[in-house]
Structure 1
Amino acid sequence: MARLGVDCLPALVATLDNGWEPDTKGRQAVLAAIAMLPSDAAVSFLLDRIGDRFVLEAACAAARRFPVRMMRAAAARCPVASAAGREHLAAVLSEVPQEWFDPAFAQLGESDQSRIKGLVEDPDALPEVATESLPGLLVAPPWLADTPKPSPTVIRGLGAEDDPRLEWAEEEKQRFAECAAEFEPTAPGPRWDLMAEEVSRRYRPDYVCEMLAYGPSEFADPLLERWKGELKANSREEVRSFIHAILLRFGRAVTDRIVKYIADTRREGDCLGPIVSLAAARTAAHWFADLKVERAEGAAWLDRHGATGAILLVPDAVGGEKKRRTAAVTALIHIAERQGSQTVIDAAGHYGEQVAAAIRVVLEQGPVETRPAKKPGIGAWVNPRLLPQVAIKDRTAALPKTSVLHLVSVLSIAELDTADRGVEVLAETCDLESLRAFSWKLFEHWDSAGAPAKDRWALDQLCWFGDDETVRRLAPLIHEWPGLNRHHHAVAALQVLGRIGSESALLAMQNVALRAKFKAIKAEAGKQIEVIAARLGLTREQLADRLVPDFGLGEDGALVLEYGPRRFRVLFDEQLEPYVTDEDGKRRKSLPKPGAKDDPEASEAAYKRFGELKKELRAVTGDQIRRLEAAMVNARSWNREEFERFFVRHPLMRHLAKRMIWHAETADGRIGFRFAEDGTSSDANDDTIELPEGAVFSLAHPIHMEPKKCDAWGQILADYEILQPFEQLSRPILAFTEEELSTGRLTRFEGSYVEPGHLLGLTNRGWVRGKPQDNGTEFGMHYPLPDGGYVAIELDPGLQIGMGASDNETQRLDTVFLTDEIDDYYRRRGGHPTEIDLVASSEVLATLERLPTVD
């Protein structure tokens, strides 16, 4: 028989190496066959390849069949095994049945016995905790109970008292108003009459929505009865603004129609928040109980309106309609977990003691999150003896092996889109660091077992206890998996990072968005970036600060590339164009090609890295320069921690920031400064200064500098041969004339002809294209002034929506004017601002001055 094992092994190994892809069932079958061979060579082969896919499972099977062979082979490898290798060996030996372990161990020599003891005996192992001290979920979970679920108590004839209303949270009404104003027409004027006339002839949902949201009362109020709740607009964002505006305007009179739209479309679920009604409660309960994507928004409404929501839902929870009853029961149990059972029982008491007694029975059945319809299915690859111990909260003991399987079951059924009670029990019972280590090892075992699709929860569960170390380990796999035909796993891993939601996850996501080769992966990364930003409460500008990549640069802002005997430092010029210096400090525009004396692998990798760096920088540099220029124009500021983190210490941005002049501002005034390579700050006399505590930092606009100071800074930069990435000190300072401020007309620009491409480029500087009219023509552009009002341009013949620069006609600047209101056709009417911020004045005039004109 042993001879048979030796004879078969070479053929099986050849088949394994040449005949099968690494993630196929065929590979598993060949490895299973090798594990059956009664030979030392077969066992040795498995241990030598223990880190390969599916091999650990096969080695464990061989250990159960041939314990003596496995022990001898493991002992032989013990002295040279790495830490990970010893872990694998220990895992394999743990598969030897206990009744066979001691007899097999006795057949080993003294040296081998000592090594095996070192592998299987863990001096740091914790004793198992008594099951009496554990929650029932980890001892006798509900899915193991053989008792049938009690029949529901049905009490017919109950009805909730429905009194629709709006209950606003702090500052919520203001947020709704801001969203509503986003698409509000500034001055449609006679257009309301035209819209009303059109609606009187035929029902136009788009006109009706806009008039209900923003139209004068004499037009909007009569339409309220005719409106069926449909919301039609050019974009989802505009629909959202309509919801906010109509709710704010008409209140309880429109709540049911708004709720119906939200329920039917499953969109704008957060708009459900302030609405308190039976329809809103039923929608929230249905979303929480039955839907995956909308579950979190359903939970948010239930958490917010707990007691009131319970009163509305109790009649459904004991009603005769099964689907509605199930959703209501699920919602009431959730409210009880969050706000206490008595909250729900008191709500039931509004309907009498019989109803309260029925609801008590519902609550005693336990949380629905831990009562799946059937026992969770756990793959054969899950073996508690191969997983690390999970310590309890005080780290004095660990979970028993039987409880570990229950823990795995909880993770396998946990709901990802809301707070999961089962996971909360784990977090309350177990040590967090221990759970993190266990979670990652569980994922590794799933991956090693071929990542079976039915057990993808082993990847998803990383989100529950994941930290920055989880992000660091998972991020490289997201880049690797699409090339291994594991695109869906890469997308799922991005969603895991989104749920972890830390800044390190944000940076990892940005790295994927920049470097991924597959568009779908880039798109998912972008989506998850928005998820994390919302979770962290970051503004668009704050998010941009955090998404600037460091490209692997060192603390000194340089990258060292090794050719073997030669080393090169990569540095950057004022436009972040990379260049290299050799060991003698000689500057080279590019990295030299590897030579005969260079290390082939190291030099080739370094040369490739430099090429990738140049490509990546091109995608980033222009955006960062434009972002800094916009920050100067808009007077954006950073506190000290942000300034040092995102500029002084950032290995890339420091190259731009040190070429700029900054202001440090306190209640006592502002100080101008620049910072050098060594991190010190100096003033306009080039003297080192200490920046004041509690200051906020901003890029200095020359309009806020004294001319002498501006000249002094310019001389300092010239002395140090520092070029600025965009105009700062040399920026033109312009102002409106008295006549322009009095008349509101900028006649100096009127009558000029400008190519459409230059006009479209104005959107990068804060200009807004006009709203397209019925023929798709945008009749102008405008620039919103910071203190209210606009600078507007009336165009002839106007820009066509959906057409690029080359397809539009040359545009005549018919009228350029200041105005308090914008008409859709850019006709000048009404008043205009007369006091305009100096920076805004200078910037908008400089932009118009620079527009290239044609004859």
Structure 2
Amino acid sequence: MGNRNKPIVVDGLVCTDTPALIWADGEHERWAARAAALDHGRQQPDWPMAVTSANRMSDLSPAQISWLIAKGPDGPARALLADPPMLRHRQRIDLGRVALARFGLDAMPFVLSEAGQSADVLGLLILPLRAKEAAALAASWLRHLGSARLWARLWLARHPEAAARALIPAATGRPGKTRQNAEDALRLLTASGHTPLIQKTTREYGHEALAALVALLGPAMAVTAPEDPRPLPSPTLPGLGDAAVTGGGSSAGMGAPFRVPSKKVRDLPELRRADGGVMPEDEVAAVAEALTRSRPADPPEPPPGDPDRPGLPLVVESSAARQPLVAALDDDAERLLKGCDQESLTAFGRTLLDRWLTDGMPAADAWVLVAQAHIGDDTTMEQLGPLIRSWPAKSRYARAIDGYAVLATVGSDVALRHLLAIEANMSGGSTNDRALDYLTQAAARRGLTPTQLADRLAITHGLDAGLVVDYGSRRFPVVVDEHLTPHVTAPDGRILARPPKPGVKDAEPGAYQWFLQFKKDLRATAVAQTARLEREMHRHRLRPARDLTGVLLPHPILGPIARRLLWGAYDGGDRLVQALRVAEDGSLADVHDSTVTVDGDTPLGIVHPAELGAELPEWAQLLADYEILQPFPQVNRPSVVLTEEQKAATSLPGFGPVSPDAIEEMLRGRWYGNGYETGNSIHTQMRRSLPGGLTLLVELDPGVSTSTYLNPAGEQRITEIWVDDTWSDHWQSVRRTTLGSCDPAALSELLVDLYALGR
């Protein structure tokens, strides 16, 4: 049965178009003008000699490359662009625009290489380029989540006829990724009203090509076909075979083919009908085929990019793009699933999931995972949660992201607790960003932020209902102190650390072990929630003030933690307006112990000591006077509080001497050096990201080698600490960003680490 859906393959078709540059009005001039924005630092007098005598262009420094492309000698520049090595260059957007404007088609290899390496950010570089290589890139970007899809659509809209000529050979070629990409692009052109143009172009390739395109795009392609005795095929619907069937769905959400696991239909699990009775094999097969159509929804289009925006164009990288939830099934599939007994259907899904896991999680059968969003229950989510959390560590990133989509789409308390735990335990990176994005969407469906969702889903261990250690003949109510240590109340009113051990007359002796386990579980939850609130302090996560009094303080576990923390009211720019503590009666008080009334919509967050300025010593003394033991270091946390003069400055002075071992240890951690980018094998600069698109820079003298085991470094000095835009190249001599524009908490944490080097 699968043969009737076999794609038509036409060998030997080749696009022979000559590459050309097609500029929009004023575009060439605007791109050429970006040469003025290229910053290559201080120009060295030996650069002209260096670039003309270099044996390998890859020996050039990033600064030399920027200078060479912008205004260096013509010959060496064209040689560099014609066969671009693995360059350590930066300023890539403007370099690409200037290269294409200055050198025309000689820059095509460079531009194609750049766009292929970073499609979301650099895909705009192909817009003026009419070439089959550009068409292949644009077609491959239609499945991206980020701005690459936007550049692809803009390129196809600008060059539809050239796109058709370039993509028809691939769309009628051997099955594979290249053909699939070309098919997507031709479908987009058809949907954009270019069917007559595709018809005309296809006829130039012959009748077999036209037949293949009719099978792909539908009978409308044949409307104006010339007379030919050979019939054109009629489109057919996919059927269920023992192996491959066409479904829909992939991590990219663009309808890639899936298949039923390679097992006979009779080997599928048993299914029961909703009205009773066991389903026959053909109905089970139909349900399985319907589930293969499970797929992520089409992702939302990123915001429009402006290729001519000064500085960086507005782009959205795939890792930061809105992640698609699982799409609803089509009406036919929904009708089939509603005809199944739901308990039986859920068990059916778990059996398929177990088989998929046992088979090694083949990507071709990933629909099994995605389908759990339609048929899985909380038991399924309990099974999936720990598995999904483990997949990134096993390099199963695509499967992990599909798993996040399933948890977020199901959206039950159980599913979202697992998603919260996944996001909380990640160390950072794009996969963590995607987990947070899914969490944000799932929370928004409840009208909440991730922080509010985490507050409301925090487990209580039954403390809100009251707990009792019940031996049958004796009962001991459980009480918890402000430090979340559980005790029991004896019949005479005494507070005991634990209940007495059961005696021979006690009918339920297991209650003693229950209490010991409860004590461990409560401690684990208290540690986890304390760590979460400490992360919120670092990440500046806020909640409306009404949630403090309405959600956190009444919670039996969050309440005792929140009462011992210092809170802050923030303005619309997330800047601290006033620090507050929770008074004994549950009201809010300022540093002078005066009651403060805060509007319920006011953003409230956990204050970092670096935000308190001159009030920090007063708050520390006040909490000490009240003998408040904080759940984690807050007012007594090591911090760097900048003076007003320092906030207005663009850099801080350095210090030394510093041990090279300490510098190397930081570079092995979460700090990055510049030695691999400058080409001189010496790290003379370290950097760490800050919130808000900023980076903290540390200048080193004389610097440490990138290969310290071969070239041990000597004693170091930190000569300057400054801040720059993250997208910048950090080599300019003029400092532009004030330290006061940085998030004070994040800056303080990094400065504490740095200043510790000088001790």
TM-score by length of 2: 0.60
Mapping for residues 103-142 of structure 1, pairs under 5 Å: none
Q: Structure 1 residues 699 and 547, CA, compared in 2 at 3 Å: closer, same or farther?
A: closer
Q: Deviations over 1:301-334 (max 9, x none)?
A: 7666665676344335654996379878755654
Q: Deviations over 1:401-429 (max 9, x none)?
A: 8566334225347778989xxx9794244
Q: For the residues of structure 1 that align with 2:543 and 2:669, how far apart are their CA atoms?
A: 21
Q: Aligned residue for 1:427?
A: 330
Residue 250 (structure 1) aligned with residue 99 (structure 2): yes
Provide the secondary structure at the position in 1 that maps to 2:683: strand
Q: Aligned residue for 2:55?
A: 202
Mapping for residues 539-578 of structure 1, pairs under 5 Å: 552-554=459-461, 573=483
CA contact (8 A) 1:778 1:800 kept: yes
Which of 385, 408, 429 in structure 1 is aligned with 2:288?
A: 408
Q: Deviations over 1:506-561 (max 9, x none)?
A: 7525646889xxxxxx99x98754443456789xxx98998899774459799979
Q: 1:753, CA displacement in angstroms?
A: 3.8
Q: Structure 1 residues 734 and 415, CA, compared in 2 at 3 Å: closer, same or farther?
A: closer
Q: For the residues of structure 2 that align with 1:454 and 1:818, how far apart are their CA atoms?
A: 49
Q: 1:466, CA displacement in angstroms?
A: 0.6
Mapping for residues 652-801 of structure 1, pairs under 5 Å: 657-658=562-563, 659-665=565-571, 670=577, 672-675=579-582, 681-683=588-590, 690-692=597-599, 694-699=601-606, 711=618, 715=622, 718-719=625-626, 721-723=628-630, 725-728=632-635, 735=643, 746=653, 750=655, 752-755=656-659, 771=675, 776-779=681-684, 795=700, 798-799=703-704, 801=706
Q: For the residues of structure 1 that align with 2:632 and 2:715, how far apart are their CA atoms?
A: 31
Q: Structure 1 residues 388 and 514, CA, compared in 2 at 3 Å: closer, same or farther?
A: farther
Residue 346 (structure 1) aligned with residue 196 (structure 2): yes
Q: Structure 1 residues 229 and 353, CA, compared in 2 at 3 Å: closer, same or farther?
A: same
CA contact (8 A) 1:777 1:798 kept: yes
Which of 70, 81, 86 in structure 2 is aligned with 1:232?
A: 86
Higher RCO, 1 vs 2 (CA within 8 Å, ≥6 residues apart): 2
CA contact (8 A) 1:791 1:816 kept: no
Q: For the residues of structure 1 that align with 2:141 and 2:180, how far apart are their CA atoms?
A: 11
CA contact (8 A) 1:158 1:315 kept: yes
Q: For the residues of structure 2 that align with 1:482 and 1:337, how far apart are their CA atoms?
A: 37
Q: For the residues of structure 1 that align with 2:735 and 2:144, how far apart are their CA atoms?
A: 47
Q: Structure 1 residues 712 and 216, CA, compared in 2 at 3 Å: closer, same or farther?
A: same
Q: For the residues of structure 2 that align with 1:665 and 1:402, how far apart are their CA atoms?
A: 62
Q: For the residues of structure 1 that align with 2:356 and 2:691, how far apart are their CA atoms?
A: 58
Q: Structure 1 residues 732 and 694, CA, compared in 2 at 3 Å: closer, same or farther?
A: same
Q: Structure 1 residues 166 and 389, CA, compared in 2 at 3 Å: closer, same or farther?
A: farther
Provide the secondary structure at the position in 2 that maps to 1:343: coil
Which of 580, 583, 586 in structure 1 is aligned with 2:489?
A: 583
Q: 1:218, CA displacement in angstroms?
A: 2.8
Provide the secondary structure at the position in 2 that maps to 1:351: helix
Q: For the residues of structure 2 that align with 1:435 and 1:206, how far apart are their CA atoms?
A: 68
Q: 1:280, CA displacement in angstroms?
A: 3.1
Stretches of structure 1 lacking an aligned partner (at least 5 in a row):
1-142, 168-172, 178-183, 391-398, 516-521
Q: For the residues of structure 2 that align with 1:642 and 1:215, how far apart are their CA atoms?
A: 58
Moved more, 831-840 or 248-257: 831-840
Residue 475 (structure 1) aligned with residue 475 (structure 2): no
Amino acid at match of 1:203: R
Q: Structure 1 residues 809 and 570, CA, compared in 2 at 3 Å: closer, same or farther?
A: farther
Q: For the residues of structure 2 that align with 1:337 and 1:743, how far apart are their CA atoms?
A: 52
Q: Structure 1 residues 445 and 344, CA, compared in 2 at 3 Å: closer, same or farther?
A: farther
Provide the secondary structure at the position in 2 that maps to 1:232: coil
Which of 508, 513, 519 in structure 1 is aligned with 2:418?
A: 508
Q: Deviations over 1:182-237 (max 9, x none)?
A: xx998753579569727732214263766445777234864244234545367xxx
Q: For the residues of structure 2 that align with 1:466 and 1:388, how far apart are their CA atoms?
A: 20
Amino acid at match of 1:581: H
Q: Structure 1 residues 646 and 284, CA, compared in 2 at 3 Å: closer, same or farther?
A: farther
Q: For the residues of structure 1 that align with 2:14 and 2:579, how far apart are their CA atoms?
A: 76
CA contact (8 A) 1:389 1:434 kept: yes
Q: Matched residue pairs, number?
A: 647
Q: For the residues of structure 2 that align with 1:708 and 1:478, how far apart are their CA atoms?
A: 44
Q: Deviations over 1:686-714 (max 9, x none)?
A: 56655325433355577877978984895
Provide the secondary structure at the position in 1 that maps to 2:133: helix
Mapping for residues 196-595 of structure 1, pairs under 5 Å: 197=50, 200-205=53-58, 207=60, 211-212=64-65, 217-219=70-72, 222-228=76-82, 230=84, 232=86, 244-251=93-100, 253=104, 256-257=108-109, 261=113, 268-271=118-121, 273-274=123-124, 275-276=126-127, 277=130, 278-283=132-137, 285=139, 311-315=161-165, 319=169, 323=173, 330-331=180-181, 334=184, 343-349=193-199, 351=201, 358=210, 359-360=213-214, 362-364=216-218, 370=238, 376=245, 378-381=263-266, 386-388=271-273, 402=282, 405-412=285-292, 426-431=329-334, 434=338, 437=342, 440-446=346-352, 453=359, 460-464=367-371, 466=373, 470=377, 473-477=380-384, 479=386, 494=400, 496-500=402-406, 502=408, 507-509=417-419, 511=421, 529-533=432-436, 552-554=459-461, 573=483, 579-583=485-489
Q: Aligned residue for 1:91?
A: none
Q: Aligned residue for 2:446?
A: none
Q: For the residues of structure 2 that align with 1:434 and 1:684, how far apart are their CA atoms?
A: 61
Q: For the residues of structure 2 that align with 1:535 and 1:400, how far apart are their CA atoms?
A: 38
- Calculate percent identity across the aligned residue pairs: 13
Q: Aligned residue for 2:316?
A: none
Q: Deviations over 1:154-181 (max 9, x none)?
A: 99787557555699xxxxx99xx9xxxx
CA contact (8 A) 1:513 1:526 kept: no
Mapping for residues 35-50 of structure 1, pairs under 5 Å: none
Q: Aligned residue for 1:15?
A: none
Q: 1:662, CA displacement in angstroms?
A: 0.8
CA contact (8 A) 1:703 1:838 kept: no
Q: For the residues of structure 2 that align with 1:336 and 1:845, how far apart are their CA atoms?
A: 51
Q: For the residues of structure 1 that align with 2:368 and 2:701, how far apart are their CA atoms?
A: 59
Larger helix proportion of the pair? 1
Q: For the residues of structure 2 that align with 1:385 and 1:625, how far apart are their CA atoms?
A: 49
**In terms of Rg, which structure is larger?**
1
Q: 1:368, CA displacement in angstroms?
A: 9.5
Q: Structure 1 residues 707 and 192, CA, compared in 2 at 3 Å: closer, same or farther?
A: same
Stretches of structure 2 lacking an aligned partner (at least 5 in a row):
25-29, 219-232, 246-261, 300-325, 442-448
Residue 625 (structure 1) aligned with residue 505 (structure 2): no
CA contact (8 A) 1:440 1:470 kept: yes
